[in-house]
Amino acid sequence: MTYAIGVDLGGTKTAAGVVSAAGEVLYSETIPTLNRDGGEAILDATAALVSSLMSRAQAEGLDVAGVGVGSAGVIDTARGVVVSATDAILGWAGTELTGGLAVRLGLDPAAVQAVNDVHAHALGEAWAGAAAGTASSLLVAFGTGVGGSFVLNGRPVLGNRYAGGHVGHFASPYAYHRGKPLPCVCGGAGHVEAVASGPAVLQSFLRLGGKETAVDARGVFALAGAGNAVAAGAVDWGASAAGQAVGGLANILDPEVIVVSGGLSDAGAPWWHPMERALRAELLPALSGLPVLPAKLGNAAAVVGAARLVLSAPSTPPLS
């Protein structure tokens, strides 16, 4: 059996694991991402992490085909370069991701592939998770931000400029307060992420007059669970905005299944029920039976999806 190493390179931590051709993570390791030290330092640390796993795999007689990376930022998969990135990782934009890792690991450049981390997450769920066995799936993740990916015939649709999947950045009728659009982290206003992300739920709580101490979305959910009406209203508003957005995307893409992921979806019924109610209210009649499923692989999804980049046939790269 052939194996690959999948890497999930995020703003705070980098996880990597040895993944089988069946999508099983045999073992994994995690290190902090050196997000203030620049691209070269991150590549050095990531290469050391991968090298450790490669040595362990080789010692156990496992045939490692290559390394796949799901990385934060907009990734040009053809060149393996980070096109752009937020300040969550300083100096990451412009980094030669696949080439830099290949040199450090002594691998053929073709043996290292990369894609955006949310696309890797969606690919993992499409291959071995909630959407396994489907021809098309739409994954939308609600956490610190809002991201998504449409996987078609086993390949994530990346877009002409590799920016596909930024589903947090289109207009939402929920993203207004007193007639004015809410500012979004992208520099725009009135977007889905401005109302449906974790930080946005906290801001909604404060705008609605919440006085109790709540330092993040988790605190708002705790207050809502304790019967705080303002907190419950903020959770419901953000969840409804999330569902309305996903329903609209489903009307455009007509996926076989929708997978909802991220920290907010893990909050359970208080978030999931209003989200799915708003989603189904938005759907066209022809999509009324569309399955809406929670993600299955958890934190392993992007590692599995990144490995899939290498384990899939080289003749079927991600769609551009």
In 306-319, which positions are buried (b, 16+ CB within 10 angstroms) versus exposed (e)? Answer: bbbbbbbeeeeebb
- For 2-124+299-311, give the CATH class: alpha beta
Can you give the pLDDT at residue 315? 40
From start to end of 179-235, where are the E strands?
180-181
Query: CA-CA-CA-CA torsion for 171, 173, 177, 182, nearest 10 degrees?
Result: -10
Instruction: List, run by run, the mean pLDDT of 10-residue segments along the chain (320 residues).
Output: 96 97 97 97 98 97 97 97 94 98 97 97 98 98 96 96 96 97 96 97 95 86 95 97 98 98 94 98 98 97 98 52
For the entire predicted model, the pTM comes to 0.94
Q: Which of 271, 311, 313, 272 is nearest to 5 (CA)?
A: 311
Long-range contacts, 313-316 (Cβ 8 Å, 24+): 314/110, 316/154, 316/155
Can you give the pLDDT at residue 320? 41
Do the Cβ atoms of 4 and 311 come closer than 8 Å?
yes
Return the CATH fold of 134-295: Nucleotidyltransferase; domain 5 (3.30.420)
**Token digits for 179?**
């007639």
Laid out side by side, the sheet with 112-116 consists of: 25-32, 13-20, 2-9, 63-71, 112-116
**What CA–CA distance (Å, rounded) separates 208 from 177?**
10
Do the Cβ atoms of 56 and 1 come closer than 8 Å?
no
**Range(s) of the chain covered by CATH 3.30.420.40:** 2-124+299-311, 134-295
In 97-125, which positions are buried (b, 16+ CB within 10 angstroms) versus exposed (e)? Answer: bbbbbbebbebeeebbbbbbbbbbbbbbb
Rg (CA), the chain: 20
Can you give the pLDDT at residue 318? 43
Q: Vertex 109, ends 299 and 48: CA angle to 5°?
A: 50
Can you give the pLDDT at residue 73? 95
**What CA–CA distance (Å, rounded) separates 238 from 24?**
34
**What CA–CA distance (Å, rounded) separates 246 from 274?**
13
Which string of DSSP letters, residue by residue, matches 6-35? EEEE-SSEEEEEEEETTS-EEEEEEEE--T
Can you give the pLDDT at residue 316? 38
**What CA–CA distance (Å, rounded) separates 43 from 98?**
9
Burial class (CB in 10 A: 0-12, 13-18, 19+), 40: middle
